Amino acid sequence: MGKTLSVVVSCYNEEMALEQFYEETAGILKKLPWSYELIFINDGSQDGTMRVLDLLAGRDEHVKVISFSRNFGHEAAMIAGLDYSSGDGIVCMDADLQHPPEYLSQILEKFEAGYDVINMVRTKNESAGWFKNLASSAFYHLINLLSDVKFEPNASDFFAVSGRAAKVLKESYREKVRFLRGYVQSIGFNRTTIEYEAGTRVAGESKYSIKKLITLSLNTIMCFSNLPLKLGIYAGAGAGLLGVLMMIYTIWSWARVGTPNGYATTIVLICFMFAVLFLIVGVIGNYIAILFAELKDRPIYIVGETKNFKE
Ligand code: UDP
Ligand code: MG
């Protein structure tokens, strides 16, 4: 039996882009030596995304659809796609054609060559704007500094994993607060990268707000590093040192001038100490929130309906 490629595409309000995405991607997939399935996840879209997906699934049996009961986010959608996929290789990509389907043949070659994890690395991303690009590079520097897992800078949600790598992701990485890209980088196996140029969105607008990105970044840092949790130790040491310096200064100025200006010093110290204290309480609070989410063990996603899946 020939091999199968699963292409996982998460869609949130993508009715404008989907037809074109399907035409281009299916056109390329048809020419590849592997058979394929095209899995679309409707992540609780409010527009006509489901209508378009219904049409596509009716027209082409390669098209399979998972529809969530509400919006669970891009990460949950990719996980659902992995869960439902049955291919020997699985590719995750965006629905807006920013991840060019032309690269699918190169990805297939890498699978044939025995690679398990193929990271697609952006060489440039003009449409994101300087702020997003700067923030993204700062984020990768920070996380690489703090975490044992080495993250590929400019890695994107465009990546491919072999069947056995996908099995690991499906079975062992069911965290509620998560960063799929990080797991992909940390599972090992034979890894390789392909560089690509991110295109511009074909239609509609970006679904990732700055707020969503900040939340994702903070959670990722905390999921992949325990260093912030140890901030208290450093802050305690720093504050202790500061206290000693202040004491020396006070004694010194008392010896020289007679009466030191205690009031200003006290206010400065109190503000500084409380700032440090609250910061650390906040950091610990965030870790507890993550623990709480894991403890509650709520589903990562809820499926409302599926189309064209066998069983
Ligand atoms: N997406 C999703 N659920 C969401 C937000 C986004 O499934 O809650 C999908 C979206 O439809 C697209 C992909 O994630 O296929 C990437 O989103 P987008 O293109 O808006 O992000 P950007 O490329 O601007 O970072
Ligand atoms: Mg996009």
Give per-residue pLDDT as tens, 236-278: 778 878 877 887 887 787 788 776 667 767 877 787 788 788 8
51 contacts 42 by C-beta, under 8 angstroms: no
> DSSP letters of 77-114?
HHHHHHHH---SEEEEEETTSSS-GGGHHHHHHHHHTT
Residues 120 and 42 in one domain: yes
Token pair in block for residue 129: 């704007």
Token pair in block for residue 111: 């699978």
Pocket test for ligand 1, best of 49, 67, 79, 94 (most atoms within 8 A of CB): 94
For 156, the 3-state DSSP assignment is: strand
Token pair in block for residue 1: 């039996």
**Ligand 1 atom nearest to 9, measured from its CA:** 15
Residues around ligand 2, an ion, CB closer than 5 A:
94, 96, 98
pLDDT in tens, 19-73: 999 999 999 999 999 999 999 999 999 999 999 999 999 999 999 999 999 999 8
Token pair in block for residue 21: 């995405």
| The pLDDT value given to residue 88 | 92
Mean pLDDT for the chain overall: 85
Residues 147 and 284 in one domain: no
21 contacts 49 by C-beta, under 8 angstroms: no
Q: Which of 129-133, 216-220, 252-256 has the highest mean pLDDT?
A: 216-220
Domain limits at 233?
227-296
Residues 236 and 181 in one domain: no
Per-residue pLDDT band at 1 (split at 50, 70, 90): low
Residues 127 and 275 in one domain: no
| The pLDDT value given to residue 83 | 93
- Helices H / strands E in the chain, number of each: 10, 8
Q: What is the CATH number of the domain that holds 194?
A: 3.90.550.10
Residue 262's CB: how many other CB atoms inside 10 A? 11
Residues of the chain above pLDDT 90, percent: 38
Residues 16, 22, 27, 30, Cα dihedral to 10° = 180
pLDDT in tens, 60-76: 999 999 999 999 989 89
Residues 232 and 131 in one domain: no
Residues of the chain above pLDDT 70, percent: 96
Residues 162 and 52 in one domain: yes
Q: For 32-176, where are the alpha helices, taking DSSP H only? A: 49-59, 74-84, 104-112, 129-146, 163-172
218 contacts 177 by C-beta, under 8 angstroms: no
For ligand 1, whether the C-beta of 64 sits within 6 Å is no
For 174, the 3-state DSSP assignment is: coil
For ligand 1, whether the C-beta of 301 sits within 6 Å is no
| The pLDDT value given to residue 223 | 80
| The pLDDT value given to residue 260 | 62
| The pLDDT value given to residue 71 | 92
**Ligand 1 atom nearest to 201, measured from its CA:** 19
* Ligand 1 center to 17 CA (angstroms): 12
Listed residue (30, 32, 36) closest to 9, CA to CA: 36
Residue type, 190: N
For ligand 1, whether the C-beta of 73 sits within 6 Å is yes
Residues 37 and 181 in one domain: yes
